[in-house]
């Protein structure tokens, strides 16, 4: 006759209702962690935005969806040619009638740059800007000579003559910049890294 080993309470089969409770608690914890991570990622790392106007055509079209890298601004630098998303300065609503809180434009001038224009040519520190990105001419309103202040940026839409930008309402404070556009994800046929 085989010997039977005594079992302690931990080795006995558990109550089915206790197992269900443990699985429920595990799922609640997993969902809480996932929700927390998604909030942290959205608030501090990446966020998606929708393009509501044609001011960035032909680079970004109405209805495009983009992903913005927030850490690229928080931990990095902003350069001429970067496409940024920023909270609209108050003047935008008065001068352009814009109702959007967040805007997307291309950085043309960084702190200390001397900006002006001649015809359709943008001048930075007296040198013609080589716009190596898609854009639409004519320039539209001229850039009146100015110096970009410390911690501020001069921005324009790629659709130069159809963009309410720094030419109308001034500079974007660095604190208003939400992040740099690094990927267009929609429509699928136009996925593009920036």
Task: Render the chain in DSSP notation, one character per residue.
Answer: --------TTTSPPPHHHHHHHHHHHHHHHHHHHHHHHHHHHHHTEEEEE--SSTTTTTS-TT-EEEEESHHHHSS---TT-EEEEEPPHHHHHHH----SEEEEEEEE-TT-EEEEETTEEEETTEE----S--BS---S----EEPPTTEEEEE-SBGGG---HHHH--EEGGGEEEEEEEEEESGGG-EE-
Residues ≥6 apart with Cβ < 8 Å to 11: none
Q: Active-site residue 55, yes or no? A: yes
> Active-site residue among 55, 117, 163, 166?
55
- 113, two tokens: 């740059």
User: Among the options 105, 163, 166, 180, which is catalytic?
Assistant: 105
Residue 180: active-site member: no
Active site residue ranges: 55, 105
């Amino acid at each position: 006759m085989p010997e039977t080993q005594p079992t302690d309470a931990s080795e006995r089969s558990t109550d089915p209702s206790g197992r269900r409770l443990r699985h429920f608690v595990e799922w609640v914890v997993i969902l809480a962690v996932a929700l927390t991570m998604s909030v942290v990622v959205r608030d501090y790392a990446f966020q998606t935005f929708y393009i509501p106007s044609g001011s960035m055509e032909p680079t970004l079209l109405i209805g495009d969806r983009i992903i913005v890298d927030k850490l690229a601004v928080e931990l990095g630098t902003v350069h001429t040619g970067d496409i940024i998303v920023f909270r609209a300065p108050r003047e935008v609503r008065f001068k352009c009638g814009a109702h959007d809180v967040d805007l997307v434009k291309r950085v043309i001038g960084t702190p200390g740059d001397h900006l002006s224009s001649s015809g359709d040519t943008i001048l930075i520190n007296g040198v013609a800007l080589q716009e190596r990105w898609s854009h639409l001419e004519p320039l539209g309103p001229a850039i009146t000579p100015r110096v970009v202040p410390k911690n501020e940026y001069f921005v324009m839409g790629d659709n130069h003559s159809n963009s309410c930008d720094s030419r109308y309402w001034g500079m974007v404070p660095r604190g208003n910049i939400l992040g740099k556009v690094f990927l267009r994800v929609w429509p699928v046929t136009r996925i593009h890294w920036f």
